[in-house]
Amino acid sequence: MNFNSLIAYGVAVIAALATISCTTKTPAGEYAVPQTPICEMSYTPQATNFELWAPTAESVVVRLYTGDTLSEQIAMEKYKNGLWRATAAGDKCGMYYTFQVTVDGKTLKETAGIFARAIDVNGNRGAIIDLNSTNPEGWQSDCSPKIKREDIVIYEMHYRDMTAHASAGTLYPGKYLGMAQRGTRSAEGLATGIDHLVEMGVTHVHLLPTADFGSIDESRPTDQYNWGYEPKNYNAPEGTYSTDAADPKARIRELKTLVKAMHDAGLCVVLDVVYNHTTSTENCGFELTVPGYFYRMCEDGTFANGSGCGNETASEKAMMRKYMVESLEYWVKEYHIDGFRFDLMAIHDIETMNIIRKRLEALNPDILLYGEGWAASSPLYDESKLAFKRYTHRMEGVAAFSDDIRNALRGTLDLSSGGFIHGVKGNKEALKFGIVGGVEHPEVNHAEQAWCASPMQHISYVTCHDDHNLRDRLEHLSSDATEAERIKMAKLAHLGVFVSQGVPFIFCGEEMYRSKLGEKNTYNLPDKYNAIDWSLKHTYSDLVEYVKGLIALRKAHPAFSLGSAKAVRKHLKFIESSYDAAVGFVLQDLKEIDTAQSIVVLMNGEKQSVTFDIPQGNYTLVADKDKVSVSGLGQYEAADGKITVQPCAGVILIAQ
């Protein structure tokens, strides 16, 4: 769930109750849409062309500004398919523009439009620039790293979280360039930033919302914090993370510099995108160009609120669908982005998500697409046509976050109960469901129906930016435990993620046991709560090495990512245990799949030792409660076909 406007779950509940009586209004009339891509501002030194899709407008003007001074006003001419067009002769580079639409005799506020690619401070006006002038050195030769699908490891991060603390050692704290900087070190001499990500072995860096959002005043010093789930201009980068928000080119150039630095380091870049709602309706281009069209509207004329943030967009409408597709294509083409995470994806319709996947795969066959398979409350559309988690199997190439494995491992969102790692009963089948990657399996009896057609559609995780982070959860739910005991729980949780057949996902700083000082919803709290203190990497180096080892082990053994439901059912067999918080499984018959003949994984969340029955044979121990090593921690002979696993511990055995 997107919590940036929800201080507590109660707000979402109120929003849900408010929409119970909200019945569907007959959708605003569909209008013809252009078949070719729309470019609201197209610059050349000889002239700048403008076009705006406003099929209900009676008139439209485009206004040109030099600084804050209105320099010129041009009446746009109505074209076909709802387009209005105008040309400003001469070299207008460096000027700003707005559109102003009149509908039903009412002249609306000025807007930068909906396709603005360069903007002024706070994004109220578009900027006329030559995009080619924003390319950093070597940009034309920049290309995405080739990552095998089975090797994907996603690392979610916020720019300020990673770089704002003095211990990050960057010259540009909280900025695009801060994250792009190589060679940064903590006071202890340990790698931070990009170098840390490379060291850990992650492959895809998930950046929290990067498109321009409306919750921070870019004209003020950038000590403000927000996750950014309040989108305003979808095709322009946020100025907060730029070294000069007043320069429309700077934010573009600096984001490209970051993307290139990531690519040069062998990392793919995933953007968190928020097409499901806007920061407001009265100040965003959608409502200021075609009122009542881009959002789902109730019968009484109010905005539907499936997002819990005051509105929800209508992806099923032709122009909104076209807009989403072309916006995403633009990020891939102009910024070389490698994937997208969709906020509250269940507000979008399945057909649109499938079109997006096909269109983006045409640009990049390795594009990574995933999202939240839920909404804050019921969207105002046919539920069976929306991208809810339960319909993920109907969206080939699109994955969803698995709250199944999340809740099974660490407990429920409301902290009312712990999970498997706390020894809590009732999580066994949900954990097994997560281990098989959410696909049908004859040995899994989970309450939920299998929702993945492929395990690659299952994002396995225990925490993300939402909700309490893992350390804070453990300190709350296991306050009587020692820190050493809680770290054992953290290790077991991470092991559960990385041995699952789904795509592993880790929240920034969890590998070094970060804390958010017990706060659940830190979307707008200062760096004190959000910034990572990189001295933790030294303090909790044992946990860092454990997670690093799990990533390396997963990459070394393709059997942990079999890639298809059929292969999972064939090769993954569970080991029976009478204990409620004990799960074991064998990956077997791995000839031509893996260097191992078989792999045994045992997870004991109980507060007592548990003995498992495993196939007889000689094994190499590669993981236990303390360490993980691809080359092995020692030998284990299971002559009697048994092994005892200590409390709150995991064991991985390899038979060569």
Dihedral of CA atoms 336, 143, 549, 207 in degrees, nearest 10, equals: -10
Residue 87 has pLDDT above 50, yes or no: yes
Question: What does pTM read for this prediction?
Answer: 0.95
Q: Reduced to 3 states, what is the DSSP secondary structure of residue 10?
A: helix
Q: What confidence score (pLDDT) does residue 222 get?
A: 72
Closest Cα to residue 402, out of 428, 432, 434? 434
- The residues of the chain that CATH labels 2.60.40.1180 are 560-655
Angle at 262 between CA 256 and CA 263, to 5 degrees: 90
**372 given a catalytic annotation:** yes
Mean pLDDT of 104-109: 97
Residues 6 or more apart whose CB falls under 8 angstroms from that of 604 comprise: 579, 581, 582, 610, 645, 646, 647, 648, 649, 650
Residue 17 has pLDDT above 90, yes or no: no
Rounded to an integer, what is the distance from CA 119 to the centroid of its chain?
24
Q: Are 397 and 454 in contact (CB under 8 A)?
A: no
CATH superfamily of 41-134: Immunoglobulins (2.60.40.10)
How far apart CA 479 and CA 473 sit, in angstroms, is 9
- pLDDT grade, residue 6 (50/70/90)? very low
Please, what's the b/e burial string for 639-656 (b: 16 or more CB within 10 A of its CB; e: otherwise)?
Answer: eeeebebbbbbbbbbbbe
- The residues of the chain that CATH labels 2.60.40.10 are 41-134
Residue 9 has pLDDT above 60, yes or no: no
Closest Cα to residue 96, out of 50, 54, 127? 127
Q: What confidence score (pLDDT) does residue 30 get?
A: 85
Q: Give 618-640 pLDDT, tens digit per residue.
A: 999 999 999 999 999 999 999 89
How far apart CA 104 and CA 645 sit, in angstroms, is 73
Q: What confidence score (pLDDT) does residue 223 get?
A: 82
CATH class for the region spanning 560-655: mainly beta
Closest Cα to residue 63, out of 130, 129, 125, 123? 125
The radius of gyration of the chain from alpha carbons, rounded to an integer in Å, stands at 26
**Residue whose entry in the numeric block shows the structure tokens 């009963």:** 425
Mean pLDDT of 98-105: 98
**594 given a catalytic annotation:** no
Mean pLDDT of 52-78: 97
Sequence length of the chain is: 656
Residue 233, φ and ψ in degrees, nearest 5: -120, 110
Question: Which of 27-31, 122-126, 169-173, 206-210 has the lowest average pLDDT?
Answer: 27-31
Candidates 372, 466, 467, 472; catalytic one: 372
Residue 527: other Cβ atoms inside 10 A: 16
How far apart CA 292 and CA 279 sit, in angstroms, is 16
